[in-house]
């Protein structure tokens, strides 16, 4: 890079630090530098999204429900009812209206995404 270009970049950097972003906001009265100072910034809250595959499955008379080619046993009181099955590559969760009652272990051979 030519010497003249480097000098003009330096001058632009010095000039912009003295002039740019110095206007005060009309409502807060702060400059951008004051507004975005590290002590004023808060982390964004973590939102836990349910990304799992979710299906309603019918419980048959043999106390089992089918999900992705696998059969899972559930308590007899759920025969004839629809239960929600949620799964990802590492777990399967079976839930009823009142909450989770079963979380069988999953191996990679039993669940394919």
Express each pLDDT in 3-40 by its tens digit.
666 776 666 555 555 666 677 888 888 887 777 777 77
Q: How far apart are CA 35 and CA 29, in angstroms?
A: 9
Percent of the chain with pLDDT over 70: 65
Q: What is the pLDDT of residues 50-105, one digit of tens each?
A: 788 889 999 999 999 999 889 999 999 889 999 999 998 888 889 887 655 655 65
Q: How far is CA 98 from CA 10, 48, 83, 94, 95, in A?
A: 66, 21, 11, 11, 8
Residue 112 has what pLDDT?
Answer: 46
Q: How confident is the model at residue 113 (pLDDT cuts 50, 70, 90)?
A: very low
Structure tokens at 76: 């007899």
CA distance between the termini of the chain: 53
Q: How far apart are CA 85 and CA 76, in angstroms?
A: 17
Residue 107 has what pLDDT?
Answer: 55
Q: 99 with 92: CB under 8 angstroms?
A: no
Pick the more confident residue, 3 or 48.
Answer: 48
């Amino acid at each position: 890079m030519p010497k003249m270009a480097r000098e003009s970049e330096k001058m632009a950097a010095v000039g912009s630090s003295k002039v740019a972003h110095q206007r005060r906001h009309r409502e807060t009265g702060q400059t951008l530098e004051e507004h975005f100072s590290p002590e004023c910034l808060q982390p964004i809250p973590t939102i836990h999204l349910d990304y799992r595959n979710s299906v309603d499955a019918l419980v048959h008379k043999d106390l089992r429900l089918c999900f992705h080619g696998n059969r899972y046993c559930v308590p007899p009181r759920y025969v004839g009812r629809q239960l929600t099955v949620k799964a990802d590559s590492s777990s399967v969760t079976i839930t009823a209206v009142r909450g989770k009652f079963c979380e069988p272990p999953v191996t990679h051979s039993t669940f394919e995404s």
